[in-house]
Amino acid sequence: MLIPGAGGAASYWSRVAALLEDRGAEVITVGLPGPDESAGLDVYADLVVAAAAHCHSVTIVASSLGGFTAPMAAERLPVKELVLVNAMIPVPGETAEQWWEATGALQARDEAAARNGYGPFDLSTYFLHDVDTTGLPVETYAEADIAFTTPCDFTAWPGHVRVLVGADDRFFPADFQIRVARQRLAIEADVLPGGHLIALAQPLGVADFLVPV
């Protein structure tokens, strides 16, 4: 079960999904109504649960903002494993809006930008710097405010969680993600080459992490 980040574009996972299907995995990629001002995290979780209703064992994989949908859906599905890929890691009841200050995400991003000379924030510099866009479907959507103000309504993370961090992530710097994983999940993150859109930039590495050959 592949959950996208902000905007909800299912095409984000297209390159990884194709590799996983070649390895015999049943892959479900969920598109989420990111621009819909009436659709909060509860709607997102409902869509994930409905898409996986026929499954007896599910590995949930969530990217970026998808980290807020994943634990809500996981409490309602037979989850084998939950994998967070450059993802936000909430605590129960937290909103995505609160997460930024609570984790120090913006400070970490600014410090990394100053240290590495990225310059001011823009989509190309922070998201597409290592992505080959050849043949990539143009499917990007804005994310409605409601997704950032809806509390993440879950009790606890499932027993088996892994965190994958892109070493070259400029949006959520790797050292920041590693710290948050330790603080909030008490686990050590795995680090692979790739930026924030690691599933597009390094699909083979991500596929190997999820379903080793």
Give me the pLDDT at residue 137, please. Answer: 67
Give me the pLDDT at residue 138, please. Answer: 57
Q: Name residues of the chain where pLDDT drops below 50.
A: none
Give me the pLDDT at residue 115, please. Answer: 95
Sheet holding 79-85, edge to edge: 2-3, 58-63, 79-85, 161-166, 190-192
Residue 172, CA distances (Å) to 4, 37, 59, 72, 138 in order? 16, 25, 23, 22, 23
Give me the pLDDT at residue 142, please. Answer: 85
Give me the pLDDT at residue 134, please. Answer: 85
Give me the pLDDT at residue 119, please. Answer: 87
This prediction's pTM: 0.96
- Residue owning tokens 């080459």: 193
Sequence spans of domains, the chain: 2-210
Distance CA(213)–CA(207), nearest Å, equals 9
Which CATH superfamily hosts domain 2-210? Alpha/Beta hydrolase fold, catalytic domain (3.40.50.1820)
Give me the pLDDT at residue 175, please. Answer: 98
pLDDT in tens, 156-189: 999 999 999 999 999 999 999 999 999 999 999 9
